[in-house]
Every structure is written in C-alpha cells, then in structure tokens.
Amino acid sequence: MKKFMLMMVMLMVSVMTFAKDYKTVVFTTTPQMHCENCENKIKGNLRFEKGIKEIQTSVPDQKVTVTYDPAKTTPEKLCKAFEKFGYKARVLKDGEKVEMNKDEKCDLM
C-alpha cells in the first residue's frame, strides 16, 4: 500500500510539473456581438490562433473571454487576430461594463 501511495504522489508531482500557466484576457468588440451567429464567427475564427485554449462569449455582457498560453501569444496579437475577420477588439479593464448599442444592426442575422 505504501508503494502505491508513493507512486501516486510521484505521478501527481509530475503532472503538476507539466501543467501550463495559462492566462485569461477579456475583450469587447466593434462591431458588437448581437446574436449566436456573431459569437460563432468570433469563436470559429479565433480558435485557429496559436496558443488559444478556450474562448467564451457573452452577448449580454459584450465580452469575449480568451484563455491562452502566454508562451505562444499575447493580448496584443489576439487583438490583431480579430481584425482578420472584421472586428476590432480591445482589452477590458477589471470590472469594466460595456453597454449594448441598440442602434447597431447585425449583418449576420
């Protein structure tokens, strides 16, 4: 039993050693997201960028949350990636709220 426990501890240490330190950044976009099609366009295009591990979008909050590997990309590079598919992005400050522009129309609906 002690041998098994020792092996489990060694396995856990080796897994923690190889775990990456991912970072998260939150963007808002221009034009704004209006629908699921907007979200899918962003997710579908960003997923091909190097270092991206996860993308979450929220139309009501106007946020695109990206988890990434800082060894492979930066928030600045990710901002430029949005431009490839017709959006401008900027990093939101902690706690910053974005109001939805009700006058803006969606081309994807």
- For residue 67, the 8-state DSSP code is E
Structure tokens at 101: 């522009």
This prediction's pTM: 0.80
Rounded Cα distance between 85 and 42, Å, is 8
Q: Which of 9-13, 62-66, 88-92, 103-107 has the lowest mean pLDDT?
A: 9-13
Rounded Cα distance between 62 and 74, Å, is 21
Q: Are strands 63-68 and 23-30 parallel, antiparallel or unpaired?
A: antiparallel
Rounded Cα distance between 53 and 24, Å, is 10
Rounded Cα distance between 61 and 23, Å, is 20
Structure tokens at 30: 């221009």
Strand boundaries in the chain, DSSP class E:
23-30, 52-58, 63-68, 88-91
Q: What is the pLDDT of residues 83-107, one digit of tens each?
A: 999 999 999 999 999 998 888 888 8
Q: Specify the pLDDT at position 107.
A: 82
